[in-house]
Amino acid sequence: MAIFLPDEFVERVRSESDLVSVVSSYVQLKRRGNRYWGCCPFHQEDTPSFSLKPDEGFFYCFGCHAGGNVFKFISLIENISYYDAIVLQAERLNIPLPEREKTPQEIARDKKLAALREVHELAGKFFHNCLTVTPYGKAGLEYFHNRGIGDDIIKEFNLGFAPDAWSKLTDAFAKRGLDTELLLESGLVVKRQQGNGEYDRFRNRAMIPIMDERGRVCGFGGRIISDGQPKYLNSPETMLFNKRRLLFGLDKAHRHISQAGFSLVVEGYMDVISVYAAGIKNVVASLGTAFTVEQCKKLLRYAPAIYFCYDSDRAGQEAIARALGIAGETNAEIKVVQLPDGKDPDEFIRKHGVDEFRQVIGQAISVVEFQLKHILAHSDINGLEGRLRALTEMLPVLGSIKNTAERSAYISKVAQLLSVSENDILVELTKKGNGFSHQPRDNSKVRDVVHQVDDASRRAGRVIIRMVWNEPAIVEHFVSLVPIESLPEAIHKQILTVLYDKYRAGEQVTDIMSLSSLGEDVVAELSRALVEDLGQEDISLLYEACVRQLRRSYLVSQYKVHSENAERLRQQGDAKYMEELAISQKIKQEMDELQSVD
């Protein structure tokens, strides 16, 4: 059940939100005058058409015509509802959600969550103390120190050790009176298959707490430090622990990701810890599962680019190929860091040092480059059949390249590698229908570019809307000259009708999204009216010119009505035709006067 969000709460979140800060965590912006510009994150473009007006708190794209306030932006970029966008932004700003009376089921669920969080926090302290202040932790400390992990990082990541015993944690928690069923649900203890009682899930393992973005322990990863399987053992799925949505290290990395402009995704916990300890702190890892769309979208909240740096062995490269398929469904800018020597990041840093690792990151290759190399690595191109099979796999990759010059360069490169002609590759691309097309990657975000017919009347209508928005009282002057129902654009009628009604009711609209009930087109057109550059310093003169234009358009329609009425009455022999004729002549006179002014 959704929590009711009072208007005053929504207004507080909106007023405390910095639109530029929110948008710049996804889009690279440049300031021009009192506006910011960037390439739109909602459709593919090379020339910036996405604009922000921070003093008013809204955005607009002149390409795909997306527009709205900070919540609308978050809802579009995160592919969530407007309501969820408000809640998400409130959480980011640490603004508590308004309280309401909860159902018994919600109370029970919240109580269970709080109890699970407490158990996990206690377990984190138990494992950390076992490592750092008890004799049980000697083997664990040796393991971490041998991996180059110092005491400062052990403390920062709250690393721990699970003793080589069946029930140390189980017994310790039983003495504290913790509920056995809760411990079983947390996955920290397991019920014995034979006989009564429980035993510890994690034994003789280096313990790595897994945190959510807010730094709360929600699970553990245990690394065996002697012979035994599995090498890594994770907590089971619980109300807290969802491996598809969590990223190890994100609680520490998210600020560094925003600063660096990209996230570095590695395979394992120890890779994250080693890379972080070396001073590269924008690093995270998925939790023993394939990289997921949920994880990708979470990273894109902080930076638009994702660099994958998995092990350079066959399994690691296969994992990257799968991850690229997932990330390719989003708007992420993707690159691949390739490590030599068959190493993982941890081994590479210990052997070559962090400076050389930074150089390797700086040489990250594009998705296209990686995919072509990956296909070659798994193909036998010594024979004709192998080359043709490799070419067949490469065609979709070549066809996905948007930039013509880049595509031509790769076609030439592939032609040389496979000893085929460039013309043959072009023929095959055209034949398969993917030679000159680019498939958008995230259908939930990517919008169509809409080419609107934009004539003088439509531009004039937007100027009037802007003036009324900034000075509501001016609407009285406007409607005395131009009835709203006479406006040529239906969308402008909708907007000005609402603004006029609000003005007469003594209310003032301050948020674009208050008109969202009229539809996204209304919000977008209003956003455009408020953000576009009018190209004239004296806005009052522009307003007067636009009123004259729309007044003249209105008079033209009225002249036609009264002229036709006069002719119809004349043909019927009705003397009233003279009244209609007089009205039409008066209208014509005003039209001529307006024409002379312009």
**In whole angstroms, what is the distance from residue 163 CA to residue 149 CA?**
19
**In whole angstroms, what is the distance from residue 311 CA to residue 339 CA?**
7
| Of residues 501, 504, 494, the one with CA closest to residue 529 | 494
Whether 212 contacts 218, CB under 8 Å = yes
177's torsion region: left (phi>0), alpha (psi -120 to 50) or beta? left
Q: What is the pLDDT of residue 437?
A: 40
Residue whose tokens read 């860091």: 337
Please, what's the b/e burial string for 418-442 (b: 16 or more CB within 10 A of its CB; e: otherwise)? bebeeeebbebbeeeebbeeeeebb
DSSP secondary structure of 138-203: HHHHHHHHHTT--HHHHHHTT-EEE-SSSSHHHHHHHHTT--HHHHHHHTSEEE-SSSS-EEES--
**In whole angstroms, what is the distance from residue 414 CA to residue 412 CA?**
6
The DSSP code for 248 is B
Q: What is the pLDDT of residue 191?
A: 92
Q: Strand pairing partners for 405?
A: none
Residue whose tokens read 């036998």: 380
Q: What is the pLDDT of residue 361?
A: 95
**In whole angstroms, what is the distance from residue 398 CA to residue 408 CA?**
9
Whether 468 contacts 475, CB under 8 Å = yes
**In whole angstroms, what is the distance from residue 66 CA to residue 39 CA?**
13
Look at domain 104-234 and name its CATH class.
alpha beta
For the chain, 598 residues long, the average pLDDT of each consecutive 10-residue run is: 74 92 90 85 81 87 86 85 89 86 83 93 97 94 93 96 94 92 94 88 96 92 88 92 93 89 92 95 86 89 89 80 81 88 83 93 90 82 83 83 80 87 84 48 47 73 88 86 91 92 83 76 86 69 86 89 88 86 88 74
Whether 265 contacts 291, CB under 8 Å = yes
Q: What is the pLDDT of residue 128?
A: 97
Q: What is the pLDDT of residue 42?
A: 83
| Of residues 565, 511, 587, 586, the one with CA closest to residue 13 | 511
Whether 276 contacts 153, CB under 8 Å = yes
Residues 6+ apart with CB under 8 A from 577: 565, 566, 567, 568, 569, 570
Whether 515 contacts 523, CB under 8 Å = yes
Domains 7-92 and 456-597 share a fold: no
Using a cut of 0.75, tell me whether the model's pTM lies above it: no
What strands lie across the sheet with 262-266, from one edge to the other?
283-285, 262-266, 305-308, 333-336, 365-366
How many residues in the chain? 598
Look at domain 456-597 and name its CATH class.
mainly alpha
Sign of the torsion formed by the C-alpha atoms of 183, 185, 187 and 189: positive
What is the domain partition of the chain in residue ranges? Answer: 7-92, 104-234, 250-370, 456-597
Angle at 142 between CA 141 and CA 143, to 5 degrees: 90
Please, what's the b/e burial string for 39-65 (b: 16 or more CB within 10 A of its CB; e: otherwise)? bbbbbbbeebbbbbbbebbbbbbbbbb
**Level-2 CATH architecture, domain 250-370:** 3-Layer(aba) Sandwich (3.40)
26's torsion region: left (phi>0), alpha (psi -120 to 50) or beta? alpha
SS3 333: strand
Q: What is the pLDDT of residue 441?
A: 41
| Of residues 261, 297, 267, 313, the one with CA closest to residue 282 | 261
Output the six-digit token pair for 563: 């002229």
SS3 425: helix
Whether 300 contacts 332, CB under 8 Å = yes
Q: What is the pLDDT of residue 435?
A: 43
**In whole angstroms, what is the distance from residue 340 CA to residue 325 CA?**
23
Q: Strand pairing partners for 248?
A: 285
Look at domain 7-92 and name its CATH class.
alpha beta
Burial of 242 (0-12, 13-18, 19+ CB in 10 A): middle
Encode 346-358 in three state secondary structure.
HHHHHHHCHHHHH
**In whole angstroms, what is the distance from residue 112 CA to residue 118 CA?**
10
SS3 75: helix
